[in-house]
Structure 1
Amino acid sequence: MDKLDHGIISLLRQNARAGYGDIGAVIGLSASAVKRRVDRLVADKVIRGFTIQVDPSVDGYATEAYVELFCRGTVAPAELRRMLSDVPEVVDASTVSGSADAIVHIRSRDITSLEAALERVRNAPNVDHTRSSIVLSRLIHRSRD
């Protein structure tokens, strides 16, 4: 990948619907040259897909929390993934360093459904306890997928 490829990716991150001509005008290539590069980036699996991002509140998922998950003993990441996959409100989860075993991002319709999702997480095998923080306002959100 060169500087032009990085420029194309940067512009597509801002607007996946940008036209090849519009992208080319910014980075100094013709529309057909941009298309060839995008096709190559897709074929090489550098670009894995094109998507839209919808505000979760549109679908009624305006309540969110970050949950620290503490397990009894050692639990493999694959096991954590399996048990958290059973809770549809879990939108993101990662193992972490520090005292918690994982950080879980939950989105729900309201506090009642958030509490129910937290209860399902807490009742999973090997979960000792959780510590939750409910999001009050989102300050910065950057997607770097």
Structure 2
Amino acid sequence: MVGRRGDMAPEQMAEGAEGGVPLPPPRPLDAIDQDILQMLQADGRASIRSVAERVHVSRANAYARINRLVEDGVIRGFGARVNHERAGQGTSAYITLKIVQNSWRTVREQLRQLPGASHIALVGGDFDVLLLVHTPDNRSLRELVLTRLQAIPEVLSTRTLLVFEEEDLEPQG
């Protein structure tokens, strides 16, 4: 196997979760990679220098490892953890959807366009899709469910679970 993505045969590449960008086959992560991931999950703004010092490698090694984790699709991006209530999105809900069989890709693309959609998952069980949304208020949530979601032809039914309180779990470190 060749180390550069462009030199891999199509059968060696997996489709990326973000919509068709081919990814190389996953490589095993060692303890240093795991430590880097844990550190960046706790603080995505950590400098290369602080990462290198914490995991006891050179800055060049830390930089190369982080780049490899990004290129391999292990790290999908860097972002801010948002307090949705303080950001004007005080109403949160999990919405379960039953959809037409084999319509996941079509429905997923339409759900991505919804304002406030935060997480979409295809699941097994009594329903097909689990959607997390954040909206400014209950009126906006009602509009999203009754007008936007139920207008998608492949959506057979929905159930809305209002979130009373939520907490993002911080990585242990």
Q: Report matched runs for 1:112-127 at 5 Å.
A: 112-119=139-146, 120-127=148-155
The percent identity for this pair of structures is: 27
Q: Which residue of 107, 117, 120 maps to 1:90?
A: 117
Q: What TM-score does the superposition give when structure 1 sets the normalisation length?
A: 0.80
Q: Which residue of 38, 41, 47 maps to 1:19?
A: 47
1:104 corresponds to which residue? 131
Asked whether the 8 Å contact 2:107–2:154 carries over to 1, the reply is no
Asked whether the 8 Å contact 1:63–1:109 carries over to 2, the reply is yes
Structure 1 gaps of 5+ residues are none
Residues 138/48 of structure 1: CA separation in 2 closer, same or farther (3 Å cut): closer
1:4 corresponds to which residue? 32
Matched residues, number: 142
Distance in structure 1 (CA, Å) of the matches to 2:78 and 2:161? 32
Asked whether the 8 Å contact 1:75–1:126 carries over to 2, the reply is no
Distance in structure 2 (CA, Å) of the matches to 1:125 and 1:37? 45
Cα displacement (A) at 1:142: 5.2
Distance in structure 2 (CA, Å) of the matches to 1:48 and 1:128? 32
Residues 77/107 of structure 1: CA separation in 2 closer, same or farther (3 Å cut): same
1:76 corresponds to which residue? 103
Q: Report matched runs for 1:7-86 at 5 Å.
A: 7-71=35-99, 73-86=100-113
* 1:20-57 superposed Cα distances (whole Å, 9 cap, x missing partner): 33223322223343234334434444434332222223
Distance in structure 2 (CA, Å) of the matches to 1:43 and 1:65? 33
1:129 corresponds to which residue? 157
Q: What TM-score does the superposition give when structure 2 sets the normalisation length?
A: 0.69
Cα displacement (A) at 1:134: 0.4
Distance in structure 2 (CA, Å) of the matches to 1:133 and 1:27? 42
Residues 4/60 of structure 1: CA separation in 2 closer, same or farther (3 Å cut): same
Q: Which amino acid aligns with 1:63?
A: T
Asked whether the 8 Å contact 1:89–1:117 carries over to 2, the reply is no
